[in-house]
Chain A
Amino acid sequence: MTQPSSTPKSASLSSSEIEKFSRQLILKGWSAALQLRIGELVVGVPEELSFATEYLRALGVGQVVSAERSTEGYTENYTKQFTEKVDYLLQCPPIPAADSATERLTSQGSLRALLSVSHLIDHLLNSRPKE
Chain B
Amino acid sequence: MAHSETVSLSETVSLSQITFVGIGGLGCPALCCFLSAWPKNRPLTIQLLDPDQVSLSNLNRQILFEEKDIGRAKVVVATERIGALLSQLPQVELRTAQVFVNCENVHQLLSTTDYVVDGTDSARTKLLLNDFCVAQKIHYVYGGATAFSGAALEVRPGKACLRCVFGDFSEEELLDLEGGCRAQGIVGVVAGIVGLEQAEFALRSFLLEASPAKSSELFRFALEGSRRTFSAVLPSADCPNHCLSIYLDLLQLSCPETFLYTKLALEELPHGVRLEILFGNEISARNVSRSCQEEGYRVLIESEPLTKGRYKTVILKESRAK
Q: Are A110 and B60 in contact (CB under 8 A)?
A: no
Q: Are B188 and A58 in contact (CB under 8 A)?
A: yes
| Residues of chain B at interface, number, CB under 8 A | 44
Residues of chain A contacted by B267 (CB below 8 angstroms): none
Contact of A16 among B1, B56, B61, B147 (CB under 8 A): B56
User: Which among A62-70, A72-80, A81-89, A111-119 touches the partner chain?
Assistant: A111-119
Contact of B193 among A21, A24, A105, A118 (CB under 8 A): A118
Interface flag for B170 (CB, 8 Å): no
Instruction: Determine how close the nearest CB of chain B comes to the CB of A62; give it in whole angstroms.
Output: 15
Q: Are B200 and A118 in contact (CB under 8 A)?
A: no
**A22 to B61, alpha carbons, bound, how many Å?**
11
Interface flag for B230 (CB, 8 Å): yes
Q: Are A107 and B5 in contact (CB under 8 A)?
A: yes
Interface flag for A131 (CB, 8 Å): no
Interface flag for B14 (CB, 8 Å): no
For chain A, residues 97 to 123, give those with C-beta under 8 angstroms from any C-beta of chain B: 98-99, 104-107, 110-111, 114-115, 117-119, 121-122
| Residues of chain A at interface, number, CB under 8 A | 35
Q: Are B193 and A115 in contact (CB under 8 A)?
A: yes
Residue in chain A with minimal CB distance to B147: A27
| Binary interface encoding of chain A residues 36-48 relative to chain B, with 1 for a CB under 8 A from any of its CBs, else 0 | 0000000000000
Contact of A121 among B181, B187, B207 (CB under 8 A): B187
**A34 to B56, alpha carbons, bound, how many Å?**
20
**A60 to B29, alpha carbons, bound, how many Å?**
18
Residues of chain B contacted by A106 (CB below 8 angstroms): 33-34, 36-37, 196, 199-200, 203
Interface flag for B210 (CB, 8 Å): no
Residues of chain A contacted by B33 (CB below 8 angstroms): 106-107, 110
Interface flag for B265 (CB, 8 Å): no
Q: A20-B56, A118-B190 are in contact. Are A107 and B204 (CB under 8 A)?
A: no
Q: Are A107 and B228 in contact (CB under 8 A)?
A: no
Residue in chain B with minimal CB distance to A53: B63
Q: Are B200 and A105 in contact (CB under 8 A)?
A: yes
Residue in chain B with minimal CB distance to A27: B185
Q: Are A118 and B57 in contact (CB under 8 A)?
A: no
Residue in chain B with minimal CB distance to A108: B5
For chain B, residues 1 to 57, give those with C-beta under 8 angstroms from any C-beta of chain A: 1, 4-5, 7, 9, 29, 33-34, 36-37, 56-57
Instruction: Determine how close the nearest CB of chain A comes to the CB of B276; give it in whole angstroms.
Output: 37
Residues of chain A contacted by B192 (CB below 8 angstroms): 55, 114, 117
Most central of A20, A106, A114 by chain B CB within 10 Å:
A106
**A52 to B37, alpha carbons, bound, how many Å?**
17
Residues of chain A contacted by B56 (CB below 8 angstroms): 16, 19-20
Q: Which B residues are within 8 Å of any A CB, using their own CB?
A: 1, 4-5, 7, 9, 29, 33-34, 36-37, 56-57, 59-63, 147-148, 181-182, 184-190, 192-193, 196, 199-200, 203-204, 207-208, 223-226, 228-230
| Known contacts A58-B60, A93-B226, A114-B189, then 6 further A-B pairs from the complex at CB < 8 Å, ordered by chain A residue | A58-B62, A98-B228, A104-B200, A105-B207, A106-B36, A118-B226
Between A and B, 22 residue pairs with Cβ closer than 8 Å are: A19-B56, A20-B60, A21-B60, A23-B57, A24-B188, A27-B185, A30-B185, A54-B63, A55-B188, A58-B62, A58-B63, A59-B189, A96-B228, A98-B228, A106-B200, A107-B5, A107-B37, A114-B29, A114-B196, A117-B189, A118-B187, A119-B226
Q: Which 7 A-B pairs have the closest CB atoms?
A: A27-B185, A105-B203, A54-B63, A26-B185, A117-B189, A106-B33, A118-B226
